[in-house]
Amino acid sequence: EPEVTQTPSHQVTQMGQEVILRCVPISNHLYFYWYRQILGQKVEFLVSFYNNEISEKSEIFDDQFSVERPDGSNFTLKIRSTKLEDSAMYFCASIRSRNTEAFFGQGTRLTVV
């Protein structure tokens, strides 16, 4: 069964450092998302990406965040200068087309120290 894969599964980084979280969506999917879940809280939308550009972003997704799909397969989330409050589980998701099932990766647990 096709799946969304995320790497790394866990990353520890020092405050102020840049991190890149990687995702490989399902190959024939067209819409890509990043969500995050702070420990003990609900999952929150960060950004959606379609046709090689951001289609929507939340208030959380400020100038410190960026996304890229550099090679047609990987989908990355970069945090330029991490803060303690960026510590969370980050999920990548993809869907094939509008109003179809969402597939999630296993998540990357980011810990900022």
Q: Which residues bind another protein (CB under 8 A)?
A: 31, 33, 35, 37, 41-45, 48, 50, 55-56, 89, 91, 93, 95, 98-107, 109
For residues 60 and 81, which CB has a smaller minimum distance to another protein in the complex?
60
CB of 66 to another protein, least distance (A): 18
Q: How far apart are CA 31 and CA 66, in angstroms?
A: 16
**Residue with tokens 């120290």, as numbered in its chain:** 113
**Residue with tokens 């945090």, as numbered in its chain:** 79
Neighbours of 54 (CB within 10 A): 12
Q: How far apart are CA 49 and CA 9, in angstroms?
A: 22
For residues 12 and 18, which CB has a smaller minimum distance to another protein in the complex?
12
For residues 71 and 101, which CB has a smaller minimum distance to another protein in the complex?
101
CB of 16 to another protein, least distance (A): 26
